[in-house]
Amino acid sequence: MTARRTATTRAVPILYSAALAALVLGPLLGPGYLLIRDAVSTPRSYLTDSALGLSDAAARAVPQDWLVAVLSSVVDGGVVVKTILFAALWLAGWGAARLVTVLLPGAGLGPQLVASTVMLWNPYVAERLLQGHWSLLTGYAALPWIVCAAVSIRRGRPGGWWALTLCIAAAGLTPTGAILAAVVALAVLGAPGGRGSRAPRLLWTVLLVVAVSAPWLVATAMSGGGATSDPAGVAAFAARAEPGLGTIGSVAGLGGIWNGDAVPASRTSLWALGGTVLLLAVVACGLPALWRRRRNPVVVALAVLALAAVLLPALAATGFGLAVGEWAVVHVPGAGLLRDTQKWVALAAPLYVLAAAAGVRSLSARVSVPAAVPVAAVPVTVIAAVVLALPDFAWGVGGALKPVQYPASWQRVVERLEASPEQGDVAVLPTGMFRMFPYSGDAPVLDPAPRMLPVDVLQTGQLVVGQASTVEGEGARAARVEELLLSGAAPDELADQSVGWVLVERTTPGPLGESQRTLDRLEPVWSDDELALYRVPGAAAAPPGDRSPAVAAHLVWATLLVGGALGALGSRLWSHRRNRPGFGAGDETRHVPSRG
């Protein structure tokens, strides 16, 4: 009976997290493609230079784009992206439950389910979904698992390093995810105590993070990008105060994304205040219990991370913080990666879920004494409070997340480009990187052309924030080509820039300038009411660069991801065979506060 109860306790959080993830994504799981703000999935992506991060714009979407391009050659790209997104949310909830069993030994099912709910059902996840940051959520989902793996390493458990490799590689789907993973891993492994010396643990972790980050580090080095960023982006991407809350209150409640349009409706009213109070009350209930565990260096490390994750983004939104940020992006290479300060609030999540679980555990112990209140009443009430704090998160964040269907015109253009022996990159009209198609909803979306077409599409990287604020990008050649099109330049000027094609997207607003004069002198290839494709005569491809370092870097990342998964699985099977706990297993019965 005990074994059966233990198996049930382990299985329920897995199933519960999967059900929560399905409830959150809702309509998006139907046929179609994710297309909302920064999220673009397409039927098929291609291994272009842009997918490897080798354009002159910053390599922000590697190895994400490379992975999708590889997988979509076998499986529909829309299915690939939605599967990764669903897995991220599911594993986030499950990982929170595992974190509770590792750091709160003996915690029952109720605290685990509360932890899963807090990890999944919060403004951070909702706002990043609405902003289209699906791949960032893989890094977020990895955080509790990274803590579990790091604790296994500290306790000398077999398989800990394999598990950490898998988790950091999964988080490294984006540069931001790799940094989030590195901070958490280094904080836990660098805390005092644990078996072995801290120096080797930290050294191996740094080497692992560098290897996982190879795709974007190599791409940045090869393209010469990432040196500086537009300082206007610091204020544009700073954390934002929500109604009834200052900036610090917003980020403490895991909200405050820079884009005021990418928030659930409940966060645009005073309910943002009520919801934040509910969430923080749930977290605060467990702080006394965690304080009693202050001898555990891992708990202390997570508390320091959470404090920094709230205070630093709030400070970065002040006048002083903005001035420091503007100086950094101009003078410190790569500092532009840090300008969206609210995304670092993810580092508070491990402590939040741990505190929520500890609070439920303490409250349940108190109410069970008179036996007048069922023990399950406490976790059920707390879960209801967390859900009530964000009532419109269900079913695609109030229906905002829903799949789209692309017009057949896109496939016709793809077929023309695949069949043509001509060379050169694609320039797109209207200029700019964002679109508002009739089929894409009310919010501007990233142009799908760079991920839809089998030829490199020029991108400036310029971002329009709010109604009028513009943040300049790094794509110098793309910016020159846009100027040529808007001025109605001659075709040979486009050919000199290695532009072989011009694609006109007819159903979206945007700047066209005098481009019709240029189009009239180009060769029409295909057109309908949606799209028109033109050939630039005399264009030649830019001199090919050596892609092998970028390809090798991506293969290193993929090897770490697959190797970490196989190693962790093998270690787990071996530990079961020898009746010893593996990654995260057995921590329910063993806790060493002095070692973490």
pLDDT score of 574:
85
pLDDT score of 344:
98
CA–chain centroid gap for 573, Å, is: 31
CA gap 301, 200 in Å, rounded:
19
CA gap 130, 261 in Å, rounded:
9
Taking residues 313-336, what's their average pLDDT? 92
Smallest CA-to-CA distance from 11 within 121, 112, 86 is with: 112
Task: Indicate whether 373 pLDDT > 80.
Answer: no
pLDDT 10s digits, 46-64: 999 999 998 877 788 999 9
**Crossing angle for the helix pair 297-316 and 319-331, to the nearest 10 degrees:** 90
pLDDT 10s digits, 493-536: 999 999 999 999 999 999 999 999 999 999 999 999 999 999 99
Looking at the DSSP bridge assignments, the partners of residue 136 are none
CA gap 116, 13 in Å, rounded:
7
pTM: 0.94
Q: Which of 71-85, 203-217, 229-243 has the lowest mean pLDDT?
A: 229-243
pLDDT 10s digits, 389-429: 999 999 999 999 999 999 999 999 999 999 999 989 999 99
pLDDT score of 572:
86
- The 8-class DSSP code of residue 235 comes to H
pLDDT confidence band for 593 (50 / 70 / 90): very low
